Amino acid sequence: MDPKFGGVIWTKHALSRLQERGIKQGDAWATFQRPEQSRFAKTQDAWIYYKTYGNEKIEVVAKQNERKEWIILTVWSRPVYVSHTRTQARPSGIWGLIRRLLNI
């Protein structure tokens, strides 16, 4: 594991989590560089980047330091479950409830 992989800084914590969780550093870097989604993490003043690889979603938490260098704080993955039971989107809200009750 390289603490400067991909031109970003990887904390010891992030490198440890990669190894512990069996996540390739290249997959985590690709998630950070080209995420499918991202959101701001207020609690750490950081960003969470997401990318799905098959049935696994990798999530990378990163932020910029005072010199505007990106630092990878931590990485984890979670399984992705695909539900095949619903073939049609259900209407939501009160009208969706009424339609479902009346089978409209």
Domain ranges, ordered by start, for the chain: 5-83
104's CB contacts (< 8 A; 6+ apart) are 98
pTM for the full model?
0.75
Is residue 49 exposed (0-12), middle (13-18) or buried (19+ Cβ within 10 Å)? Answer: buried
The secondary element (H helix, E strand) that includes residue 31 is helix 25-33
pLDDT by residue for the chain (104 residues), tens digit each?
899 999 999 999 999 999 999 999 999 999 999 999 999 998 788 999 999 998 999 999 999 999 999 999 999 999 988 766 554 555 567 766 676 677 65
Q: Do residues 58 and 64 lie in contact, with contact meaning Cβ atoms separated by under 8 Å?
A: no
